[in-house]
A and B are shown apart, each in its own frame.
Chain A
Amino acid sequence: MSTVLVANRGEIACRILRACNEAGYSSIAIYAANDADSLFVELATTSVKLEGESIAETYLNQKQILEIATKYGADAIHPGFGFLSERAGFAQAVIDLGISWIGPSPRAIEMMGDKMTARITMKAAGVPVIPGEEIEQEDEHEALMAIKDASRRVGFPLLLKASSGGGGKGMRVVNSPEELDDAVNGARREAIAAFGDGRVYVERLLSGSKHVEIQILADKQGRVIHLGERECSVQRRHQKVFEEAPCPTMTPELRERMGKAAILAAQAVDYEGAGTVEFLLASNGEFFFLEMNTRIQVEHPVTEMVTGVDIVREQLRIAEGEPMSCGELNMRGHSIEVRLYAEDAANNFLPAIGPLVVFKPPEGPGVRLDTGVRQGDEVTPNYDPMLAKLVVWAPTRNEALQRMRRALEDFVVLGTTTNIRFLRELCDQEDVVNGTTDTTLIDRVWPDGWSPEISNSLTEAALMIAGISEGSGKHRKSNVGTESTDNGPMSPFSTLSRRFP
């Protein structure tokens, strides 16, 4: 293996391209025209432009990507997450060209990717699943009838899930039978738009549970290990926003049992590479299989911070056919990740767009930033609104929270609305402080939506800053309205009178 093509964009493409550079591989980035100036394009040895405009014509265009891989001599493809990462057909096509697929076998992707098949496979392997029913009917009307039938047995509130689903798309909470028709139609429509597959199944809604997932690594030598858990209970619209490792209520005994179940799940599909087995953990210690993500995950950094394992580097190693380099599981300290989104948290988390006129991340010990953007970039509606992942590590959970609060207050983003303040206030919530978070936290704490708590004196100070900025003509000093540091006359050589020999 010498040249890795990264079939992705943004933050995760940066993460993988840097790992390739560090490991001494040549790398190929592929990019759509509207990504020509994006950070990830700079990080690759070679960057190749994709023809076409829509996502389907570019990042999801298997034929075009495979042609580039062949033409530019890629001998491995890393799919990242999202896009083609869980398309078994693409993995197979890559393998058929004699190129290494950095991920599990197409069969494993297929069995885990179809959520209904995964449920059936897990039940057979002895891994506990959430009470619910698979809906086999493909016809829209028949499926609706079958869901109505199943809903009576499963009971309300229930959760409709797209069999091809992920990322909260095609998912609906249904509180009563009256809502069912609308919810099924909405979930189907969203699932067809996102995945081209409208099949939806039914699970009981286990509210008050924690979302706990186990990171898995499996190499070609047959070794399967787990790297402990991450807790990702805090979600808005079924998307995670706050993740941590370890889970604050975990016990060594429960970790052992969940780890074993996750390894069993991986072995049931002859898993290879990095993967994540997601569970719901009830307050009584009972846990249920949710799904397995057959790829690198957004929140993988928190595991890296507490285990010292470079998961992407291990993926490359495993794809190369080498044994993984991890020893005994040794978790140290506590790590928290928050996802920075360009979104209006005070307005139902609606996506926002705009220029990143100022983008100044926090610094200091135990602070890690994984991002695909930099100051001057434009946030567009073309792609996912996640701007960055801010990750902290500290010896204890309390210190990690303190560090996260400080880092979020230091994070300056101007020109585009972000959820930074929301995340900062989230860190003060009693359940977050106590580690008793569950999946209903955001709706419970802010049933009527979140709005920032701002003192009058701070608002007054902000108005004063705006007045001074306007009055000093600050925005006229540079033509794009950025701070004068960015392109102002700040070189010491232009102001110093001393001559340098």
Chain B
Amino acid sequence: MLYEFKIDGKTVEVTLAKSDDVWTLSGNNASILSDGRIRLVSKDGAIFFAHSAKVRDTWWVHIGGHTFCIDHVEPGAAEEDNGSGLSAPMPGKVLQVLVEVGQVVEPGQPLMILEAMKMEHRIVAPQEGIVSVIHFKEGDQVQQGIALLEMSL
């Protein structure tokens, strides 16, 4: 069985074999326990009890004291374009907009100030460019990951 995942921005293909209730992948063996956890024996003999849960398209996996976020790529799904938009790193409120459309900005120049949990966070220009669109004004609430402004290079 072939699955396509995205982890840390990289697309990875995972090919699993299954016989009876045991799944195998390059020397690792695993089986699903009755409580939903997965017992994995690695090729070097280490035993892990992993937890997993899916939120929207993302599998959250806890194994060996680490937590992974692994996006499942549905077959045929189109690549989303992040382009040159600057997105909100956290949910919060726009405290200040420091630039105007058409303004030339330098790398590191603050563009917007966000506030969440009473802490301020600056959105800075990643490179030189011209501000082409500003999506929000002062006082607006923004969700995490939403595009705040756009720049043309």
Contact = CB atoms under 8 A, between A and B. Distances in A.
B117 A381 contact: yes
Among A169, A352, A459, find the residue whose CB has the most chain B CB atoms closer than 10 A: A459
Contact of A353 (B25, B54, B91): B91
A34 interface: no
6 contacts: A189-B120, A350-B90, A353-B91, A357-B60, A385-B117, A421-B65
Interface string B8-32: 0000101010100001011010101
Contacts of B3: 466-467, 470-471
B120 A465 contact: no
Contact of A460 (B18, B25, B34): B25
Interface in B50-83: 50-55, 59-70, 72
Interface string A113-134: 0000000000000000000000
Interface string A380-424: 010111000000000000000000000011101111011011001
A491 interface: no
A471 to B, nearest CB: 5
Given A360-B51, A420-B67, A465 B35 contact: no
B5 A409 contact: no
B108 interface: no
B35 A466 contact: no
B55 A415 contact: yes
Interface stretch (A12-20, A103-111, A480-488): A480-488
B95 to A, nearest CB: 8
Among A186, A381, A485, A490, find the residue whose CB has the most chain B CB atoms closer than 10 A: A381
Contacts of B72: 466, 470
Given A414-B55, A463-B70, A466-B52, 9 more contacts: A169-B119, A351-B117, A415-B55, A421-B65, A454-B66, A461-B48, A466-B3, A467-B23, A474-B32
A133 B111 CA distance: 33
Given A237-B119, A385-B117, A414-B62, A485 B36 contact: yes
B52 A461 contact: no
Among A348, A355, A358, find the residue whose CB has the most chain B CB atoms closer than 10 A: A358
B134 interface: no
Interface of A: 168-169, 186, 189-190, 193-194, 237, 347-348, 350-355, 357-358, 360, 381, 383-385, 408-410, 412-415, 417-418, 420-421, 424, 452, 454, 457-472, 474-475, 481-485, 488, 490
A413 B26 CA distance: 28
Given A357-B55, A358-B53, A412 B120 contact: no
A190 B36 CA distance: 46
A360 B35 CA distance: 13
List the 5 shortest-distance A-B pairs measured between CB atoms, nearest first: A409-B65, A483-B36, A414-B60, A475-B54, A484-B36
A475 B53 CA distance: 7
Contact of A465 (B43, B63, B69, B92): B63
B104 interface: no
A186 B52 contact: no
Given A351-B90, A469-B52, A461 B28 contact: yes
Nearest to A495: B34
B123 to A, nearest CB: 12
B60 A461 contact: no
Nearest to B96: A189
Given A350-B90, A381-B91, A462-B61, A414 B12 contact: no
Contacts of A385: 117
A488 B30 CA distance: 21
Contact of A474 (B40, B44, B52): B52
B54 A474 contact: yes
B32 A468 contact: yes
A105 B101 CA distance: 54
B25 A464 contact: yes
Contact of B51 (A352, A414, A421): A414
A487 B64 CA distance: 25
Interface in B74-110: 89-92, 95
A28 B133 CA distance: 50
B89 A466 contact: no
A17 B123 CA distance: 41
A420 to B, nearest CB: 7
Contact of B7 (A355, A357, A463): A463
A463 B65 contact: no
B54 A469 contact: yes
A472 to B, nearest CB: 6
B35 A490 contact: yes
A412 B62 contact: yes
Nearest to A55: B118
A384 B119 CA distance: 10
B120 A460 contact: no
Contacts of B51: 358, 360, 412, 414, 483
Contacts of A467: 1, 3, 5, 14, 16, 23, 25
B53 A481 contact: yes
A360 B14 CA distance: 28
Given A186-B120, A414-B62, A463-B7, A468 B90 contact: no
